[in-house]
Amino acid sequence: MPHAKVNPAANKFNEKDAEILSSTSIDKQDDRLKVFSRRFEEYPDASVVDVFKSGMRVSASRPCLGTRFDINSPFTWMSYQEVFTEALNIGAFLAAVLKLPPESFVGIYTKNRAEWVILELGCYLYCLTPVPLYDTLGPEATDHILMQTRISVILCETPQHVTNLLRLKNSAQLLHIIQLSGRIPKVNEIKQQAWGWQEALKAGRENPVEQRQQPNRKSLALLCYTSGTTSLPKGVQITHGNLIAESLAMTDLLITHGKQYVSTASCDDVYLSYLPLAHIFERIMHVLCFMHGMRIGFYRGDILTLVDDMKELKPTIFCTVPRLLNRIYDKTLAQANSNCLRAAIFRMALRRKTNEVNRRVIRKNSIWDSLVFSKIQSLWAPPSSRKGRPSAVPVVEGYGQTETTGGSTVTLPGNPQTGNVGMPLFNNVVQLQDVPEMGYYAKDGSGEVCIKGLNVTPGYFHMEAETAKIMDSDGWMHTGDIGQWSSDGFLKIIDRKKHIFKLSQGEYVAPEKIEQIYSTNVYVYQVFVHGDSLENFILAAVVPNPEAVMAWAKKRRKPENLKDLCNDLELKTEILQSMQATGKANDLKSFEQVRDIHLHHEPFSVENGLLTPTFKAMRNELRRLFGETFTKMYRDHR
């Protein structure tokens, strides 16, 4: 696969570009997809191995994977050639020593680290398929995956991971465990044979084997298990072609059509890997980095030390999710509002910088940068290390899901508009289909977001019935999201088809849309909206924002204890009225406004089983937790 080349001449984003690129017409999207497909068809046998070799041609002796062992040490790097050599050795270990036949599944159960990537590449070199497991999946989901895939070999990080696995009902099928750290169990301690990482590499090096037939575009690259919000996880089949098409499309759109703001991707770029590698988003970013010979540095495994890792690595590319951005935003606001003078300066600085961005003035040398924003800006690479790039950080937002190999739409670099998720990538076509029960019609520019293209999964592993639920007879993948085309041709996500319920008066309610609006309220940290088909109004369980609630309590000289404050009727009334004001400001209909709330002091989390590993609400579990409370609240309102 050739290294991507782009024209270094940079032209600013303008309205004409948007008009050309963001056409929502299916015919025009089809035309773009056909052009992209012709380029894609030139490489029928390409796989992720070819992508890595492409990067290795550019960066053979340059750094590839970096590890930081403690807060006082710099990153230690392996070169592209060193990574490839270790991948050959671990692949030979799997194929020759453990004698795994082609197309076998290999489990990976660890946080982001270099060995994760090396094992994955080793699998590809010998036609094996890695199955990533979330570190926080939980025993039931992990056992389900073991049963479905019949994994016999798995990479684990610590002795505790091994202990957790061996407690599972389906652990008997595990024959070999590769352990990365801690004491390796002896032969008489467990039924499985345990190997240290270096021991496995040595065994592979001493037992070289001819590489098998290489995977091609249609070969299965990953089984990516989605974190189910209402059921056991489903294994999304991702092919090598899916991964390559997604990476090429992101390169085309972000680089070719955002040159002024992104410039040519190169081996000088640095990426910080901290989002779980079991998620498709992070996997795509790694493939994209390898395509261009970039460096990937791994965080130390603790989100609390992420900022320190950023300061040391100085990434030029940083991916994140709304949850983390919301935390940064809330913390920044809390610091800014610590006194009146600081709050006034922050508001003025934010207003001035926002005006500059809206006028496409991208810089970080203003007085407001020096006074307010320099600490955040210092986390990224300095401008001098990014030739031809502007001296501020361009932000790009995308929309997609595991079933579309990550992004389906992406905002254009340099476009200051917010509130949309951009235009379709060139590897897929986006169509809106009628949802009459919710009042959305394609003729009005709104409907369910449906996707067809080279990035769409072949389906769920061994779950044909589940596949049929999302794939229609014409090949469209139904996302369950409600979208709307903006006047300039960008997609907005405005609602959710799934999880909707009907109230007694016949009105349909989409709770996730309402939760998203209420989550912007200063008092709300988390919220779960509930309705009943026998009732004509909705309720909510709210986890209050501790900082806002403590400030409220301090002004009223009340005990600053969150658990006790959750039983305070005055606080409940204050939060309910504030939420209703937020709902009104965001045009919620009267039946979409909560009538009453229950305050809950313990946050919803992955650990207590109320959030999925991707931080989505486990709605069935939340309904069970608050079921009796909601029943009593409805009874009290009769």
pLDDT tens digit string along 295-338?
A: 999 999 888 888 899 989 999 888 887 767 766 776 777 777 77
> Are 404 and 336 spatial neighbours (Cβ–Cβ below 8 Å)?
no
Instruction: With a cut of 50, say whether residue 530 has pLDDT above it.
Output: yes
Average pLDDT over the chain, rounded to an integer: 85
The residue-averaged pLDDT of 576-594 equals 95
- The pLDDT value given to residue 388: 32
Tell me how far apart the alpha carbons of residues 226 and 183 are, in angstroms, rounded to a whole number: 32
Separation between Cα atoms, residue 585 and residue 573, nearest integer Å: 18
Question: Cα 244 vs. chain centroid, distance in angstroms?
Answer: 18
Q: Which domains does the chain have, with CATH numbers?
A: 320-378 (no CATH), 501-636 (3.30.300.30)
Tell me which DSSP letter residue 217 carries.
T
Specify the pLDDT at position 2. Answer: 29
Cβ atoms 516, 474 nearer than 8 A: no
Q: What's CA 246's distance to the chain center, in Å?
A: 15
Report pLDDT for 514: 94
For residue 39, pLDDT over 90 is answered with no
Cβ 428 vs Cβ 250: under 8 Å: no
Residue 227 pLDDT level (bands cut at 50, 70, 90): low
pLDDT at position 391 over 80: no
Residue 239 in tokens: 């092919």
Q: How many CB atoms within 10 Å of residue 333?
A: 16
pLDDT of amino acid 16:
39
- Environment class of 473 (CB within 10 Å of its CB; exposed 0-12, middle 13-18, buried 19+): exposed
Per-residue model confidence as pLDDT tens digits over 239-290 = 999 999 999 998 877 666 555 555 556 788 999 999 999 989 999 999 999 9
| pLDDT given for residue 199 in this prediction | 96
> Taking Cα atoms as reference points, which of 137, 95, 125, 143 lies closest to residue 213?
125
pLDDT, tens digit, 9 for 90 and up, residues 119-160:
999 999 999 999 998 766 778 889 999 999 999 999 999 998
pLDDT value of position 191: 84
> Which pLDDT does position 616 carry in this prediction?
82
**In this prediction, what percent of the chain has a pLDDT beyond 90?**
54
Q: Residue 438: beta bridge partners?
A: none
**Do 410 and 430 form a contact (C-beta atoms < 8 A)?**
no
Q: What is the reported pLDDT for 196?
A: 95
Task: Tell me which of 55-64, 230-239, 428-437 is least confident.
Answer: 230-239
Q: Which pTM value belongs to this model?
A: 0.79
User: What's the farthest any 2 CA atoms get from each other in the chain?
Assistant: 77
Per-residue model confidence as pLDDT tens digits over 79-112: 999 999 999 999 999 999 999 999 999 999 999 9
Interval 510-521: pLDDT, tens: 899 899 999 999
Tokens 């940068």 correspond to what residue?
A: 369
Q: Are 75 and 66 in contact (CB under 8 A)?
A: yes
